[in-house]
Structure formats: structure tokens, C-alpha cells
Amino acid sequence: MTERRFAEVSRESVRLMAEGAGVELGDDVAALLAEDVCYRLREATQSSSQFMRHAKRRKLTVEDFNRALRWSNVEAICGYGAQDALPFRSVKEGELFFVEDRDVNLVELALATNIPKGCAETMVRVNVSYLDGKGNLEPQGTVPTAVQSLSDDLLKYYQQITRAILGEDPHLMKVALLDLQSNSKIAALLPYFVYVISGVKSVSHDLEQLNRLMHMVKSLVQNPYLYLGSYVRSLVSSVMYCILEPLAASINPLNDHWTLRDYAALLLSHIFWTHGDLVSGLYHQILLSLQKVLSDPVRPLCSHYGAVVGLHALGWKAVERVLFPHLPAYWANLQAVLDDYSVSNAQVKADGHKVYGAILVAVERLLKMKALSLSQSAEGQSGAHPGSVVGAVSYRVNSPGLSPPPEPLSEAALGIASHLQVGGAGCHWEEWTPVPLPAMYCELYSFFGDSLAVRFSTGTGFGTHSPCTPSQLSDSRKEPPGPASNLDTTRKMPQLTANLNISPRQDGSPRTDPPPPSLSGPGSRSRSSSSCSRQRSAGLSREVFPKARFTSPQTTPPAFSFLIGGRQMGQRCQGRRPFQTMFATTPPVSAIPPRTYAHKLPVIGRVGKPVRRWTCSHYSLHLPL
Amino acid sequence: MAAVQGGMGDADIKTDIKTEPSADGFGNNNANDGRVLSASPGSSSSTGSNKQTAPVTPEDQQTLLAVLQFLKKNKLTESVEILRREAGLPENSLDPKANESAGAGSGGAAGIVDLEGGDASSLLSRVTGSSSAGAQAPTKVAEDQPDVSVVLSAYSQQGDPTLYKVYYRDLKKFIETVLDCHRAELSQVFYPLFVHMYLELVYNNHESEAKAFFEKFSGDQECYYEEDLRILSGLTKKEHMRGNETLLDFRTSKFVLRISRDSYQLLKRHLQERQNNQIWNIIQEHLYIDIFDGMPRSKSQIDAMSGSLAGEAKREANKTKVYYGLLKEPEIELPLDDEDEEAENEEGKPKKKKPKKDSVGSKSKKQDPNAPSQNRIPLPELKDSDKLDKIMYMKEATKRIRLGPDNLPSVCFYTFLNAYQGLTAVDLTDDSSLIAGGFADSTVRVWSVTPKKLRKVKSAADLNLIDKESDDVLERIMDEKTASESKIMYGHSGPVYGISFSPDRNYLLSSSEDGTVRLWSLLTFTCLVAYKGHNYPVWDTQFSPYGYYFVSGGHDRVARLWATDHYQPLRIFSGHLADITCTRFHPNSNYVATGSSDRTIRLWDVLSGNCVRIFTGHKGPIHSLAFSPNGKFLASGATDGRVLLWDIGHGLMVGELKGHTDTIYSLRFSRDGEILASGSMDNTVRLWDAMKAFDDLETDDFTAATGHIHLQDNSQELLLGTYTTKSTPVIHLHFTRRNLLLAAGAFNP
């Protein structure tokens, strides 16, 4: 062949091979043979390639070639089946090329100590490959996390936000939280944020991080574009964790985990007021778990504190149903802690006082709200004094034209039933019957004695929503020292804490139906007017806010009278009744818009700016000694 | 002299064509077929006795005669008797014909008839060889010599070797000067002319002229013939022509060209004017020119359809009606116990389920007008376990994810690690619970990909002890001690190239280089049957979607249809000019598609054994086929890295998907047919928008009638995604019943 299209076997090679076999060949014979050998080789190679193709390989093996030979009735060539390439060597002198084929020393091989290991078992392993939103292949070998299926921009946003919130820079955090609160395009990221927030359990040692996560919850809850849906449950459980769990951070008394609990409780109420309708039965589940914590004496006091503030946050009805019935039993334990003056108990005692204070705030509000609601339900019978028992409270509030929405009792019953199915734990509210206010007051007074009374007397009036000036506030927070507390001097001073309870409605239950329309709607009007009516009874503050333009629809001046029977705090219910306080009916205030209060309310403690969505806020600053 | 011979050849072709229909009408063949197929599944009747004749596919009468003659020559008188009886030929029928063909042996053109007979007989002799093992060796030797000489005798005519170049250059010059619209069409004749002229030169021992001719004109040929030209270029001696398979293919079949009438007239006039008899003879003898009326085709249209070993398919080859519709699904009542189970799990759910089931049932109640009749071929009856499986399938189907361009499936890749033995074939069960691998070291391995381990049935002695009346007898027969994640099955003596699970997951088929197809039991993990018949490497095998039947195809260029309880094939599908590389059953089990190294795809009717479709257009051996779930379309992938889409009903190419850079070894449609997945040697899985590809079709009557298709080059639009593996060729793809894509391959470090 003239052109070198193929590898060729030269006639010299043929002649050499023939010589090797002991045959002398002429030139022409050698040439013919060479050509034939070339052709046969090509043919065999071509047919061997199909064995390679069917074995789904790219590399032609000796085995393939042998198969082709075998199928064309040619003897296979043995000895070349090794996996590794065979070295091809040349000998200069003879112009010879040959395959290196060393002798194998069988003895050495047999006695060799490094016995080759058997190759591993053939096995099948699975890995997953998937495309991102744009059809690009994601890197393999990684478990697909949900985050990776997001678009690039969202992913970047997510990373930036989480980094900012959980990072060091407080300013950045603020910006991030603000954006989280108002960004309308992050619905897709919600599950991932919820997931991040559910990481509270892993950072229970780090108060700062917990706080940041709670802030994240707040921002998410406040974002009007987000539909939380069933993620509420997850958020609530994260928040509950912060409220109730004996966090690792609380081992060190220097850590202010109280504030975190307060804040989380605030957040809880916040979630319920705005999104409580999203998950049915959640309210009652929460109540149940709070009750469980409260009735579990093994739990540390900080958990109990959390339960109390949690209940308080859920509204006075929750306090009435859960805390109040539990109080007698719980009081014994608390009393024991508070009465122990040993040095080793100092820390626990301090915690006990925190709980004490929290309970006091809760029941105070309970009394106020209960009285208010009773008076409202008893409207039209104004002047009648249903509780005429000695030492009882008499009240009379007239608020014509206003009636709060009826309490959703039926739903509550359903909720109880559902939670019974789930938990099955015995609880008291099955046989719970509302305790009449006077009896309630009686009982509470037996626990708190004058501290209860003082709080009422120093306030601006019963039923107000603390439109207190700072001075008044500080007044009211001065708890009269009870016999149990004032003697203790070693007690650590607890920090100032803020409790914010925001209730857009007066019925004291979180929202269980769709959210009320915006402020301008009729609902808000009724609310503002109702708070207005409450405001009117708070006569003392009318000069403080004189510029109201709101005209009340009400014509008759509200009448309010309140009688407090005081009793020195003593041994349970056996205390004396040393004084009675009579509240005179305050002259009506005709035009005080509640909004002004909302605006003027001081920002207290670590609570961020007041939430604008609610017209009426109740701040109570509580400073136990 | 040459002209006379040409005339003779012409006449002979005419007779050849005439005899074809009469052969089709030959009652005995069909009767024969009918009898075998009607042997109801499950009952192995006495069909085994007619070893040799039962598998005879409808050949024309002359082939039969040729076979008879061949047998007679080899003194297999007994076989002659049997064959004649089976074929219903009169005893004396052989003699005059035999004389005729013996006489024709020397005459050039008449050899074609004989050659076809010879070819068939060579195929048949392979079959024969298997059943009568002793006769194999002699037949093989005896068969080659006369056969090839007859084939090559077609070249015995001879012109002046030095003029070949001139003739060819003349023609080339003429074609280059004709109007543009005709040039593309007429250029088609270059390649077959070139090959035949070269072979003539070689045959007549004009080696140097042949070489010069080759060098001068091989560069003009279309690039997709490169592979064949390489083989041809190595062929420079008359002696080498003997036994060269590619050459044999070229000689035994007529190269089919489709040319418009105008272009053909142009060519004819030119050749007659020039008295260019050499070329005219070749055209007359070795080319089949399919003349159509109408506009000449464009270059791209021609290129789309050409590339096969024997040119395009004749138009009438794709005219037969194909019942591509799906069979009616049997209505399955939800058994009571199933509902109870449902009630246990989720209360209130069964009520929901029932109406759903009904709606599914009503959908399948509508008879597809394109579907074959339910009992066109006998199908096995459903067992209770099959019904349960169907119910499972329906349940899963309700949870199926609807795929689409915006909703691409994830891929689960099953990587075979440490597969030093060389993984050659993979299959997954329909419910994706088992995966099987065929290896180059002749083993077949089965893995369970669910936590459920593989268990064998207890030994016979232990089985006797079992309470056969108990409800959980199927559980009791299993031997817990044998539970393992994988099982290895030994039996083959060569690489296992094809593997297929039966739909009921009780059996596994494997085809190997050793020429056998083996049926394995997945209850005992032993070999049940070795189906011998191919005698050459069997490249692929597949179970029918209804079980019982299976198809195999291999190096011997025939595909065989088998039933599991017959050790002889029920049908032999012969017609491919090269190895059958892949086989697929149509979803309705009435048709079988085969892909071949001759770069064509053929669709065979299981009932009659006839070839009903020939698809040409691939430029390399076809290695994967997939029917769309609705049975209307076929996708094929080849070594050229292209996926072609075919409309079975119209017999048209309807799409071309370019993107892969290496052989496509696996194709699969998603369960609802929205997405086509292709897996390749280039370590990627690509997803194609099948819905769009099929929706954009414009199958107007004209296109359907002429078969002239305009393919848009929209591969990039249709490509939805590409998944790459690290270093693992994708050799199998599978969509789970919920439309998760599974892929498999061996890691190739």
C-alpha cells in the first residue's frame, strides 16, 4: 500500500516471523502475506469493536479482540489479558520489538507475604442528582437541602439576612429585621427562616442568639405579606421553648434570661392576637403545656416564671383558667422557697420572687379585666351590686352602646376536647367553673395581702389600661413589702422588666377568628370607642391629654364605684381585714381618644417600639423588690 | 453484451417482485404461524416436534425452494421431507425450479434470486445447526463457498478498468451542472455507484485501478459513510471479498434511493445519450430507485433519511397499517380484602378511593381505534398476583408527579461500584424494587434496592412440611436463612449483554455472548431454561410487557420471538443486514422493534412475522430504542449521539435531538410520556421535552403520503436539562411509577 491509511505489517516483519518459525520466504510471498495479515487484522479489529460497543466501554480490550477471533474461527491469543498495559520494548541490535514478558518465580510468589487483597464486593450505591430552578445541574454528592432549590437571588437574600441577624453588627441586624418585616417577596423563604428559628434548641446557651431569633420571629409575624399558615405552630414552639425551657444560659445568674422570657411571652401573645386563627386548637395546646409546666414542681422556677408570663401574655382568661386554680397548690411551693433564708437558697429565692412578682402582675390584671367584663356583661343592671358579700368588691361600670364580642365559649370547649385527645393529661379546667369575682379577690388577697390592695389603690383607677405617666408607673411598681419579702435583705435585686400585653379587644381572648380589618374599619372604631369608655373612667389623667377631638357617642356619664376590702397578708385566708377602700365614681371624660395614649406611651425596657397595629396597649412595669 | 445482460437482469427483477405477493398469499406459512401462536400460553403443546419448520417466517416461495435444494444437496433428506410437508409443496416442485436455479448460477443477474435464497439458507442453517448439533460444522463450511461465489458472480461482467474513472467523472460533472433542485437528489447515486464500481474493479483483479479510483473519489462521499468506506478501503483483493460481511450486506441488498420522476428522467436521458452502459448497468442491477411524483427533495431532507447500509426504506415498506394503540386494560375489581386493609390504615379514605378507581377504569374502557383487537395475539391470563400488582400500580399512578418543562424529575443514580468484571447490562423492575446487572464475567447479579431482602424458596424437603392451606403460604415458603441484599447467578459462558425482568418479577432473562438466552427464576435464583437458537452473540433481549413472550436479537442478524414455555422460537424476524443490537416490545405487545448495526430500525408484526416499518436516518449502529407510553411514537438512539423520533402510524421521522457527544445506550419516556430521558456514554443524562417535540408535528396528508419531512433544528429548545455523572456512563434509565428518574451505570475510574 502506498498511502499510510492503516498500521501495516511490513514484509520484513513477515519474513522475520517466518524465519522464527523456520520457514524461508520469497519477497513476493512475504508481500502477499503481509498484505493479507494486514487485512485480516483490520477485519478482526473491526469486528472486535462491536464487542466493545456492546460491553458499553470506550476501550478496546484484548478480550474483545479474542472474542472476534474466536467467532471467526481463529484461535484466540492467550497471555495478554492483563489489565495494565504491557510494556513494549525494543532491542537496538536486532531491531526487534517485543512485549516484556518476565519469568515468574512461582516459589517466590507462593511464599510471598504480601498476599494481594481480594477486590471489594460489587455493589450498588445510590446518589441523587437534581436540577435547580434554571435547569443547571447542582453539584453532586451533597444531600439536597431545601435551600439549594431556591433561585440565586433569594438564596443570596437568605444568606445575607441570616448573617446580618445572627452576626455581630447591631445596626445591620436592625436593618435586616426591618426588611424582614416589610419585604413582600420572601414568601418562598419562610420555611427556611422558620427552620433557622427552630434552631433555638441548639443555642440555648447563648442568650444573645436567642434574642436575635426571637426578633426574627417578631419580624416575620409582623410582615403583612407573609402568610404563616401552619408554620405558626413551628414558630410558636420555638417561642415556647424560650419561654418555658430551663435554658442553659439561665444557669448563670448574671444572664438576663428573664427578659428573654418576657419578650418571648410578649411575642407569643403577639402571634396569637394576629395569627391565632391559623392553627385550630393551638391555643388550648399551649394552655395545656403551660399548665403542665406550672403544675410540675420539679421544674425550675424560671420555667414556672415562663409559664406565668406566658399565661399572662395569653390574656386574663388564660390566667383565670389556669393560673388561678393552680395558685393554692403552687403557693405552698413558692412560699417554701421564699421562706427559706439560708444563704444557699439565695439564688433560688431570688428566682422565687421573680415568680411571685409575675403572678402578682397576672392576677392584678385578671382582677381588673374580670371586673370590667362583668360590669359590661351586667350592663343595664347598673347600680346593682351582684356581689354583696362582706369584703367583696362592688362595682358599677356603665358603658352604654358598647358590648364586647361574646366570648367564644363553644370554641373553647372544642379546643379542650381536642387537647384532651392529644395529651390526655388531667387538667382542672374540665370542671372549671368561673369563680365569682369577689371570691376570687378574696382568695387572691389571702395570698398577696396588701400588695394586691396597694396596687389597686395607687393606680389611676380600676379598669384603666394604665394610661400612667412615668411617675405614676413608678409609684405603682413600688410594691409594699410583705412580711415575706421585706425581711430579706440578701435578696438580689431583680432587674426591671417590662410586660406588654396588647389586647385589641376586651374579651381578653386571643383572636380566634379572622383578623379585624384595618384601623379605619368599623371594628377599630368600636374598639377605640370602647377603650375610650374605659378611658373616661380614668378621670385622673384627663388633664394630661386634653387635646382629644374624639366625641363619644355616649351621652350618659359612666358611673363607677369600687370597693376594696383590704386584708393584711397573713397565713393564707386567715388574715384580718384591716381596711376598705372605696373608689368614688369619677366624673366622665367625654373626649379622650385612645390613640393619643398609644402614641405617648413610653417605650419601656427592651421592648422595641410599640406595635402600631394595635390601638390599645397595656404596659405594666413591674419591679419586685 | 453488457446491454443484453442488463436487460436480463431487469427482467429477472420483475419476476422477483411479482413473486413476492404470491408468496405472501402462501397459505401454509400463515397457517403455520397461527398454529404456533394459538397454542395457548401455559400449555406446552406438541409444537416442539416441528423444530425446524415452526420458526419459518414468511419467506417467498423461492427461498423455500432454495432451502430445500440446499438441504438436498447436503443430503439431509429427512429434513427435506419434513420441510416440504410443512410447506405443503408438491413433491416434484423442487425439480424444475432446482434446474432453473442451478442453471442460473452461472448467469450473472439471475444470481440475485439465488443469492437471496442463499442468504436465507445461511441464516436458517444456523437455526438448523442448533437443533441438529452434529450438522453444524459441515453446513457452515459448505455454506460459505458456493454462496459467496454466487454473490460475487454479479461482478463477472467487465468493462475497461481504466474507463471507470472517466465514467464516474462524467457523471459527476453532469450532476454538478444540473439545476440545483435536482442536484441534491442525483447526488444520492454517487455513493452506491462508487462502492459498486470499486468492488467491480477489485473483483476483476484491477487492484491498482481500484486503489486509484478509491483515492480519487472517496473524498466526495458523504461523511456519514466514512465508517463503511474505511472497511471498503481495506478491501483490495478478490480473495478478501469472500467472507467480508459488510461487502456481503452491500451485495445482497439493493441500495434504495428515492428520486423524483423529473430527476430520474434527467439522469436516464443523460446516461442513454452518453451510452454510459457501465453505470446504467449498475443502476439497473444494484440500485432500487423509488420514483415519486412531485417536487424534488432538498439536501437536508435527503440527509435526514439517508445513512443506512442499504439506503432509504422503500415507500411501500412503510405502508402497512400498524395497530399502534394500546390494549384495553382489564377491569380489575378492587378485592374486598384490599379495601379492608385500606380501611384499617386510614378511615374515610376508601370512600374517596372508589370513585377514583372507577374513573380510571372508564378511561381504559374506551377502545382505541388504532389498537389491535384484544386477542390479536394470545396473551397470558392475569393471575391474582398480577391483579394485585395492577392495583398497586394504579395506586402509585395516582401519586404520580406530572412532569413538564417546569417540573423536571430528579435523578436517582444507581452506581455500580467495584464492577471490575465490567457491567454490560442493567435492568430494573417496573416497580423499581429490584435491579439486575449483567457482567462481562458471565455473571448475572440481582440486588434489592428496597429494605426487603432477597430470599430463596425453601428446599423441597422443607416445603413438604409447610401448611399449604395457610394464608401466608407465600411467605412461609421463603427461607429466611438465605436473605441477602444481592444474589449472583452463574450459568453463562460469555459476557451478558442483555437483561430483562419479567413484569411479574418472578423471572429474569439474560442474553449472552455464548449464544444463549437464559431464563432465571427469582424465587430460587437458578437457571430454568437456556434458549439456544442464535448461536452467535445475543446482543439484547426483552420481555413482553404482558410477560410470557420475549424477543431476542443478535449477531446472526435475526430477531427471534420466544415464549417462555417453548424452547424453539415462535417467530424469526429476518431482514436486517447487520447485527441486531437492540430489541424492544411495543406496549401493546403486538409489535417488536429492532435496531441494528445496519443503521435501520425495523418494526415487526408479532402475528405475521412481517416487517411493517423500516426507519432510516441514523448514521451509526442503533443502541437504544424506546416506545412512547401511548404507543404512537418510537425514539431511537445511536452511536452518532443523536436521538431520532418516529411516528409509527405514519412511518415518518418526526424529530431529531442533538446534544449527546457519544453513544446513547439508554432511552426512556416518563410514565405519562411528557419527557424523554436519554443516557449516554458521555456520562450525561439529558431530558427532552417530548410533548413539545410531538405536538409541533405537522403531519399533513402530503407529508404522510410522500414521507418528505422538514425537520426543524430545535434540539436546544427541546433540551430541558442535563445531568452529568462523575465518570459513569449511563447505561440504563427507568422512570418509577411516580415519575422519579432512576439511572444506572458502573463507575469507571
Q: Point out the least confidently predicted range of A568-572, B248-252, B564-568.
A: A568-572
Q: Using the structure block, give the residue that is written with the C-alpha cell 439536501.
A: B299
In the sheet with A395-397, reading across from the earlier edge strand, the strands are A395-397, A560-566, A579-583
- Residue B631 is classified by DSSP as S
Q: Does residue A102 carry a pLDDT above 60?
A: yes
Which one of B215, B410, B727, B742 makes the best mutation probe of the A interface by having the most chain A beta carbons within 10 Å? B410
Provide the pLDDT for residue A562. 41
Axis crossing angle, helix B245-252 with helix B226-233, rounded to the nearest 10: 110
Provide the pLDDT for residue A617. 37
| Gyration radius of chain A over CA positions | 42
Which chain A residues contact residue B234 at CB under 8 A?
6, 38-39, 42-43
Which chain B residues contact residue A55 at CB under 8 A?
422, 424, 440, 495, 497
Straight-line distance from the first to the last Cα atom of chain A, in angstroms, rounded to the nearest whole number: 112
Q: Using the structure block, give the residue that is written with the C-alpha cell 411467605.
A: B475
Closest CA to B603 of B632, B629, B630: B632
When CB atoms are compared, the residue of A36, A51, A127 closest to B415 is A127
How far apart (Å, rounded) are the C-alpha atoms in residues B563 and A221? 67
Provide the pLDDT for residue A616. 37
Provide the pLDDT for residue A474. 39
- Residue B739 is classified by DSSP as -
Interface membership of A34 toward B (CB under 8 Å): no
> Do you know the residue count of chain A?
625
Strand partners of residue B329: none
Count of other CB atoms within 10 angstroms of residue A139: 7
DSSP codes, A149-171: GS-HHHHHHHHHHHHHHHSS-HH
Question: What distances in angstroms separate CA A59 from CA A48, A270, B125, B443, one per listed residue?
Answer: 11, 69, 34, 21
Please state whether beta strands B255-260 and B287-292 pair in parallel, antiparallel, or not at all (unpaired).
parallel
**Ramachandran category for residue A508: left, alpha or beta (phi over 0 → left; psi -120 to 50 → alpha):** left
Verify whether the Cβ–Cβ distance A128 to B729 is below 8 Å.
Answer: no
Provide the pLDDT for residue B520. 95
Q: Does residue B701 carry a pLDDT above 80?
A: no
User: Which residues touch B321 (CB under 8 Å, ≥6 apart)?
Assistant: none
Q: What is the mean pLDDT of residues B300-306?
A: 84
Q: Does residue B609 carry a pLDDT above 80?
A: yes
CB-based contacts of A605-610 (< 8 A; 24+ apart in sequence): A605/A259, A605/A496, A605/A497, A605/A498, A606/A259, A606/A263, A606/A498, A607/A263, A607/A266, A607/A498, A607/A500, A608/A218
| Gyration radius of chain B over CA positions | 27
Q: Does residue A564 carry a pLDDT above 70?
A: no
Straight-line distance from the first to the last Cα atom of chain B, in angstroms, rounded to the nearest whole number: 64
pLDDT digits (tens, 9 = 90+) for B253-274: 788 888 888 888 888 888 888 7
Provide the pLDDT for residue A19. 87
Q: What is the mean pLDDT of chain A?
A: 65
Q: What is the mean pLDDT of chain B?
A: 77
Q: pLDDT band for position B140 (50/70/90)?
A: very low
Exposure b/e, A487-501, CB count within 10 A at least 16 = b? ebeebeebeebbbbb
CA angle A437–A438–A444, rounded 5-degree value = 85
SS3 of residue B116 by DSSP:
helix
User: Which residues touch B400 (CB under 8 Å, ≥6 apart)?
Assistant: B671, B672, B737, B738, B739
Provide the pLDDT for residue B360. 41
Verify whether the Cβ–Cβ distance A137 to B723 is below 8 Å.
Answer: yes
Which one of A5, A46, A54 makes the best mutation probe of the B interface by having the most chain B beta carbons within 10 Å? A54
User: Which residues touch B202 (CB under 8 Å, ≥6 apart)?
Assistant: B210, B235, B236, B237, B238, B241
Instruction: Tell me the three cell numbers of residue B517.
Output: 438466552
- % of chain A residues with pLDDT over 70: 56
Provide the pLDDT for residue A432. 59
DSSP codes, B237-249: SHHHHTT-HHHHH
How far apart (Å, rounded) are the C-alpha atoms in residues B378 and B246? 38
Q: Does residue A51 carry a pLDDT above 70?
A: yes
Provide the pLDDT for residue B227. 80
Verify whether the Cβ–Cβ distance A42 to B665 is below 8 Å.
Answer: no
Interface membership of A58 toward B (CB under 8 Å): yes
Report ipTM for this prediction.
0.76
- Given a contact cutoff of 8 angstroms between Cβ atoms, the answer to whether B633 and B648 are in contact is yes
Verify whether the Cβ–Cβ distance A50 to B597 is below 8 Å.
Answer: yes
- Given a contact cutoff of 8 angstroms between Cβ atoms, the answer to whether B381 and B330 are in contact is no
pLDDT digits (tens, 9 = 90+) for B307-336: 888 888 888 888 888 999 998 887 776 554
Q: Does residue B498 carry a pLDDT above 90?
A: yes
DSSP codes, B697-736: ----HHHHHH--------HHHHEEEEEE-SS----EEEE-
Provide the pLDDT for residue B131. 39
Instruction: Tell me the three cell numbers of residue B418.
Output: 467495584
Q: Point out the least confidently predicted range of A17-26, B113-122, B260-269, B543-552.
A: B113-122
- % of chain A residues with pLDDT over 90: 0
Provide the pLDDT for residue B3. 38
Which one of B216, B232, B415 makes the best mutation probe of the A interface by having the most chain A beta carbons within 10 Å? B415
Q: Point out the least confidently predicted range of A424-438, B163-177, B216-230, B460-474.
A: A424-438
Distance from CA of A37 to the nearest CA of B (A): 11
Q: Point out the least confidently predicted range of A370-374, B49-53, B258-262.
A: B49-53
Provide the pLDDT for residue A324. 82
When CB atoms are compared, the residue of A1, A54, A135 closest to B539 is A54
Q: pLDDT band for position A40 (50/70/90)?
A: confident
Between A364 and A94, where is the model more confident? Answer: A364
Verify whether the Cβ–Cβ distance A122 to B215 is below 8 Å.
Answer: no
Provide the pLDDT for residue B438. 93
How far apart (Å, rounded) are the C-alpha atoms in residues A170 and B663? 59
Distance from CA of B232 to the nearest CA of A (A): 11
Interface membership of A129 toward B (CB under 8 Å): yes
- Given a contact cutoff of 8 angstroms between Cβ atoms, the answer to whether B617 and B348 are in contact is no
Among positive and negative, which fits the CA dihedral B493, B499, B500, B506?
Answer: positive
Provide the pLDDT for residue A150. 62
Provide the pLDDT for residue A100. 75
Which chain B residues contact residue A123 at CB under 8 A?
416-418, 447, 486
User: Which residues touch B334 (CB under 8 Å, ≥6 apart)?
Assistant: B353, B354, B357, B391
pLDDT digits (tens, 9 = 90+) for A410-443: 333 333 333 333 333 334 444 556 677 777 778 7
Distance from CA of A156 to the nearest CA of B (A): 22
Between B662 and A301, where is the model more confident? Answer: B662
Q: pLDDT band for position A80 (50/70/90)?
A: confident
Q: pLDDT band for position B561 (50/70/90)?
A: very high
Between B621 and B47, where is the model more confident? Answer: B621
pLDDT digits (tens, 9 = 90+) for A595-615: 433 343 333 333 334 444 443
Provide the pLDDT for residue A231. 80
Distance from CA of A182 to the nearest CA of B (A): 30
Verify whether the Cβ–Cβ distance A127 to B495 is below 8 Å.
Answer: no
Q: Using the structure block, give the residue that is written with the C-alpha cell 411571652.
A: A265
Provide the pLDDT for residue B658. 92
Interface membership of A130 toward B (CB under 8 Å): yes
Among positive and negative, which fits the CA dihedral A313, A319, A322, A326?
Answer: positive
Strand partners of residue B447: B435, B486
CA angle A593–A597–A601, rounded 5-degree value = 170
Interface membership of A102 toward B (CB under 8 Å): no
Verify whether the Cβ–Cβ distance A125 to B417 is below 8 Å.
Answer: yes
How far apart (Å, rounded) are the C-alpha atoms in residues B621 and A51? 13
Count of other CB atoms within 10 angstroms of residue B46: 7
Verify whether the Cβ–Cβ distance A123 to B722 is below 8 Å.
Answer: no
Q: Does residue A12 carry a pLDDT above 80?
A: yes
Provide the pLDDT for residue B472. 82
Task: Kindly report the three-state secondary structure assignment for every residue of B4-63.
Answer: HHHHHHHHHHHHHHHHHHHHHCCHHHHHHHHHHHHCCCCCCCHHHHCCCCCCCCCCCHHH
**Chain B, nearest residue to A135 by Cα:** B721
In the sheet with B732-735, reading across from the earlier edge strand, the strands are A123-129, B411-417, B741-746, B732-735
Which chain A residues contact residue B681 at CB under 8 A?
56, 58
Q: Point out the least confidently predicted range of A527-536, B365-374, B567-576.
A: A527-536
Strand partners of residue B526: B521
When CB atoms are compared, the residue of B439, B663, B720 closest to A135 is B720
Instruction: Tell me the three cell numbers of residue B583.
Output: 430489541
Verify whether the Cβ–Cβ distance B416 to A39 is below 8 Å.
Answer: no
- Residue B687 is classified by DSSP as E
Q: What is the mean pLDDT of residues B561-574?
A: 93
Verify whether the Cβ–Cβ distance A127 to B412 is below 8 Å.
Answer: yes
pLDDT digits (tens, 9 = 90+) for A173-193: 888 888 888 887 777 778 788
- Given a contact cutoff of 8 angstroms between Cβ atoms, the answer to whether B601 and B577 are in contact is no
Q: Does residue A28 carry a pLDDT above 60?
A: yes
Which chain A residues contact residue B486 at CB under 8 A?
123-124
When CB atoms are compared, the residue of B412, B495, B639 closest to A128 is B412
pLDDT digits (tens, 9 = 90+) for A292-340: 888 888 888 888 888 888 888 888 888 888 888 888 888 888 888 888 7
User: Which residues touch B81 (CB under 8 Å, ≥6 apart)?
Assistant: none
Distance from CA of A149 to the nearest CA of B (A): 12
Q: pLDDT band for position B365 (50/70/90)?
A: low
Which chain B residues contact residue A125 at CB under 8 A?
414-415, 417
Q: Does residue B634 carry a pLDDT above 90?
A: yes
Count of other CB atoms within 10 angstroms of residue B277: 19
Q: Does residue B632 carry a pLDDT above 50?
A: yes
Provide the pLDDT for residue B294. 81
SS3 of residue A14 by DSSP:
helix
DSSP codes, A134-153: TSPBPPSSSPPPGGGGS-HH
Q: What is the mean pLDDT of residues B691-713?
A: 68
Which chain A residues contact residue B731 at CB under 8 A?
56
How far apart (Å, rounded) are the C-alpha atoms in residues A333 and B14? 114
